[in-house]
């Protein structure tokens, strides 16, 4: 069967280049006579993969030397508590901007540990925009300030970062990491599950400023203390070995095939424009997000009725364009067009939307 174009929000599609490399090396990784899946995480062969992965991530993202890179498990969800357990240790206060469901979960989870404040929210309009911030409402002595950098479910993104002064800025970058260059030095901590834009499920990457390490709250479980993982080079317990290897292949692809994150962004912009340009002139389909805050990665859209949405989704699936259903909490349609989605996938989607509009408009 031909491969489909998979618009899933995550786990999501991978570049064929990566899948083929993984397939080629599946039984015998570079003459070792073993699969990467079978390797001890403490073997020399595996340590080389993990070291190269970190070095390449540092190079691709431009991560400064005073930042640690951790390869953990537990998903972004675990970071919702790991961040407060490690950072909410001074004033015990933190600021959160509530721009969607993930930001809400992060806020609720952190609120179990301290005085967390919702400094702004876009809930009044179903999270269809990034709220304007009033710095006078920020908590001056907050231990950190948290944002969700790209809102996977609602399709908004921060194009301008909040200026938090000396308060450390923490970002959930699960659905936009590696989609374009970000200035890492503007953040104190970035975390991301790998299964959206960096590889496969099972790996969570945390990038954090050195001085944030080593101040976990009393009673923090060992596995949730950043210092433990820093001290053990992410090998305190067994790391997600195969997922780290896939991230390394993704980085090979970005470096060797794409040409780095500036080129990646260019590609992603052109790709997203195909869909947004269509939505902007369509009389049947409508994008649900304010233009200035549109995500390059997740594009939610609707027809005038739930029945037409369902009819469109069925036709798309039959045409090999799959997983276009909106998040179960919002309905409608959503095209997740991460790094691995080729422009042809979006062009085929738009061609189908155009046909559908002519037949149903
Ligand atoms: C998917 C997602 C999450 C949840 O990630 P898990 O890895 O399933 O824990 C959190 N935040 C954002 C922005 C996401 O896209």
Smallest CA-to-CA distance from 295 within 102, 61, 60 is with: 102
pLDDT, tens only, 126-185: 999 999 999 999 999 999 999 999 999 999 999 999 999 999 999 999 999 999 999 999
By most ligand atoms within 8 Å of CB, the mutation choice from 175, 177, 323, 329 for ligand 1 is 175
* Model pLDDT, residue 328: 82
* Contact by Cβ (8 Å): 288, 155: yes
Helical packing angle, 101-110 and 75-87, nearest 10°: 40
Q: pTM for the full model?
A: 0.98
* Model pLDDT, residue 35: 98
Q: Is 109 in the pocket of ligand 1 (CB under 6 A)?
A: no
C-alpha of residue 25 to centroid of ligand 1, in Å = 29
Sign of CA dihedral 75, 17, 297, 168: positive
Backbone angles phi, psi at 93, to 5 degrees: -120, 150
317 is catalytic: no
Q: Is 196 in the pocket of ligand 1 (CB under 6 A)?
A: yes
Q: Which residue is catalytic, options 68, 180, 196, 325?
A: 196
Sign of CA dihedral 179, 272, 257, 262: negative
Sheet holding 286-287, edge to edge: 286-287, 298-302, 333-336
By most ligand atoms within 8 Å of CB, the mutation choice from 78, 79, 102, 298 for ligand 1 is 102
Q: Which residue is catalytic, options 68, 102, 158, 225?
A: 102
105 is catalytic: no
Q: What is the C-alpha end-to-end distance of the chain, expressed in Å?
A: 33
180 is catalytic: no
- Report percent pLDDT > 90 for the chain: 98
pLDDT(330) > 90: no
pLDDT(1) > 80: no
Q: Is 99 in the pocket of ligand 1 (CB under 6 A)?
A: no
């Amino acid at each position: 069967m031909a491969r489909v174009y998979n618009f899933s929000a995550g786990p999501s599609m991978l570049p064929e280049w990566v899948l083929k490399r993984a397939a080629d090396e599946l039984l015998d990784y570079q003459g070792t006579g073993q699969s990467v899946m079978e390797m001890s995480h403490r073997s020399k062969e595996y340590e080389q993969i993990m070291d190269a992965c970190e070095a390449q991530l540092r190079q691709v993202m431009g991560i400064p030397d005073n930042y640690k890179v951790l390869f953990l498990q537990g998903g972004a969800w675990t970071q919702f508590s790991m961040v407060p357990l490690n950072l909410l240790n001074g004033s015990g206060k933190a600021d959160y901007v509530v721009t969607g469901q993930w930001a809400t979960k992060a806020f609720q989870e952190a609120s179990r540990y301290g005085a967390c404040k919702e400094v702004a929210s876009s809930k009044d309009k179903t999270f269809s925009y990034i709220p304007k911030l009033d710095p006078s409402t920020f908590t001056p002595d907050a231990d950190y300030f948290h944002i969700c950098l790209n809102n996977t479910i609602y399709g908004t993104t921060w194009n301008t970062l909040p200026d938090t002064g000396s308060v450390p800025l923490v970002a959930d970058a699960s659905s936009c990491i590696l989609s374009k260059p970000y200035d890492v030095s503007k953040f104190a901590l970035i975390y991301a599950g790998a299964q959206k834009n960096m590889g496969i499920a099972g790996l969570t990457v945390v990038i954090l400023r050195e001085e944030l390490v080593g101040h976990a709250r009393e009673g923090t479980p060992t596995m949730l203390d950043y210092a433990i993982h820093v001290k053990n080079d992410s090998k305190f317990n067994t790391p997600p070995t195969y997922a780290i290897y896939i991230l390394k292949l993704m980085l090979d692809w970005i470096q060797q095939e794409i040409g780095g994150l500036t080129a990646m962004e260019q590609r992603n912009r052109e790709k997203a424009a195909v869909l947004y340009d269509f939505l902007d002139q369509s009389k049947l389909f409508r994008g649900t997000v304010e233009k200035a805050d549109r995500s390059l990665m997740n594009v939610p859209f609707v027809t005038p009725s739930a029945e037409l949405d369902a009819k469109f989704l069925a036709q798309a699936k039959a045409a090999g364009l799959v997983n276009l259903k909106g998040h179960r909490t919002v309905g409608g349609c959503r095209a997740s067009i991460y790094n691995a989605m080729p422009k042809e996938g979006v062009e085929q989607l738009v061609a189908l939307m155009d046909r559908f509009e002519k037949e149903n408009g």
